[in-house]
Amino acid sequence: DIQVTQSPSSLSASVGDRVTITCRASQSIGAFLNWYQQEPGKTPKLLIYAASTLQSGVPSRFSGSGSGTDFTLTISSLQPEDYATYYCQQSYSTPWTFGQGTKVEIK
């Protein structure tokens, strides 16, 4: 199975800060990497698919990059509504696997 490791596990940042979350796969997965946002008590929501494509309706302050084994989710200017846990997920091969999550808190 492909392991996916996210870092950091949590972070605290101020409104307007640039935030970066990384995801590393245990083997090369091309661009088969997706990012999800889960607000407290809510259902996960797809943010970015195929490493860098923004899902329709997602604000442009979110962006994704990377290929192979190393990937990044960036929030260019953190907003109060971005308080959530973010997960990466590989879809290169089954079983699909998720990172352990990064909890973003607003300072």
Residues binding other proteins (CB under 8 A): 32, 34, 36, 38, 43-46, 49-50, 55, 87, 89, 91-92, 94-101
Question: Least distance (Å) from other proteins to the CB of residue 14?
Answer: 26
For residue 1, CA distances in Å to 8, 43, 95 come to 22, 25, 7
Question: Least distance (Å) from other proteins to the CB of residue 45?
Answer: 7
Rounded distance between C-alpha atoms, residue 22 and residue 10, angstroms: 12
75 phi and psi angles, rounded to 5 deg: -110, 115
Question: Least distance (Å) from other proteins to the CB of residue 17?
Answer: 24
Rounded distance between C-alpha atoms, residue 74 and residue 90, angstroms: 18
| Closer to other proteins by Cβ: residue 26 or 77 | 26
| Closer to other proteins by Cβ: residue 42 or 107 | 42
